[in-house]
Amino acid sequence: MGNLEATLRAVRGRDAKSFVPYVTGGYPGVDGEFLRMLAAAGADVIEVGIPHSDPIMDGGVIQEASRVALERGTRLGDVLALVADTAIDIPVAVMTYANIVHHRGYEAFCDDLARSGVDGAIVPDLPVDEAERFAALGAERGIDVVLLAAPGTTEQRYEAIAAASHGFVYCVATYGVTGVRDQLSATARGVVTALRPHTDLPLLVGVGIATPEQAGAASTFADGVIVGSALMGPLVAGDPAAALQLADAFRRKIV
């Protein structure tokens, strides 16, 4: 069990729910001080995105954040240096795509994460069928490789995802890409319910969580909530203070 999983289990063990904000590494304003402020706002884990030119899971807000970060010259090493230099006392998971991992090489990528103090890796386009070696290499280095479970998945595949995941299972709340939605999708509860019989790992809901109220609703049946586009929206609009205020509002509702 890595530090990421241990932390989330500890939160659950005290009958609380985890709050995991997402930010795009390399975007202006996403610096060490901002990560520390997210931790101070009550984040249990921080997810930092490695910008990618084809962010296939992400909607408009995070696509724009990735574009800007890449145009500023942000690369994998820059994001890992941010994590290493910040050295906050809560776990950090990076979110990236499979071709970045493949290009670096699974073993070298895991070594890079470990040296930088990263605790987890979320790779949305890495299917469970191809995750075994990456997850094993990560586990050897204390890196929890997190798999995603989406609505409409078969029972057999939910079972496989649950068995292969480390850290937590990322329960995708709705069909489609990331981005705010008018309401919490009914499919969110269905994914969590389908996974519960297959694993004792923490089950966290993400994608489409637009408001603190929606996050609060999700926390009634999940072990925690991941919030990305809703927090990146103010940052992309040039208002990091508003993003931090919103993070505080999310934390207060996720109970």
Distance CA 22, CA 20 (A): 7
pLDDT grade, residue 1 (50/70/90)? confident
pLDDT tens, residue by residue, 80-115: 999 999 989 999 999 999 999 999 999 999 999 999
Catalytic annotation present for 112: no
Distance of CA 89 to the CA centre of its chain: 17
Catalytic annotation present for 71: no
Write phi, then psi, for 217 (nearest 5 degrees): -65, -40
Confidence (pLDDT) at 178: 53
pLDDT(222) > 90: yes
Average pLDDT over the chain, rounded to an integer:
93
User: Is 121 buried (19+), middle (13-18) or exposed (0-12) by CB count in 10 A?
Assistant: buried
pTM comes to: 0.94
Q: ∠247-42-47 over CA atoms, to 5°? A: 70
Share of the chain above pLDDT 90, in %: 86
pLDDT tens, residue by residue, 191-221: 999 999 999 999 999 988 989 999 999 999 9
Which of 99, 110, 116, 6 is CA-nearest to residue 56? 99
| Residue pair 144/110 in contact by the 8 Å Cβ criterion | no
User: Is 195 buried (19+), middle (13-18) or exposed (0-12) by CB count in 10 A?
Assistant: buried
Q: Is 241 helix (H, G, I), strand (E, B) or coil?
A: helix
Count of Cβ atoms closer than 10 Å to residue 23 Cβ: 27
Of these residues, 5, 44, 47, 112, which one is catalytic? 47
Confidence (pLDDT) at 177: 45
pLDDT grade, residue 182 (50/70/90)? low
Write phi, then psi, for 87 (nearest 5 degrees): 50, 50
Which of 203, 244, 255, 172 is CA-nearest to residue 21? 244
pLDDT tens, residue by residue, 50-85: 999 887 777 789 999 999 999 999 999 999 999 999
pLDDT tens, residue by residue, 2-36: 999 999 999 999 999 999 999 999 999 999 999 99
- Name the token pair of 248: 């505080």
Confidence (pLDDT) at 215: 95
Of these residues, 5, 58, 112, 223, which one is catalytic? 58
Q: What is the DSSP string of 97-158?
A: -HHHHHHH-HHHHHHHHHHHT--EEE-TT--GGG-HHHHHHHHHTT-EEEEEE-TT--HHHH
Position with higher pLDDT, 185 vs 58 = 58
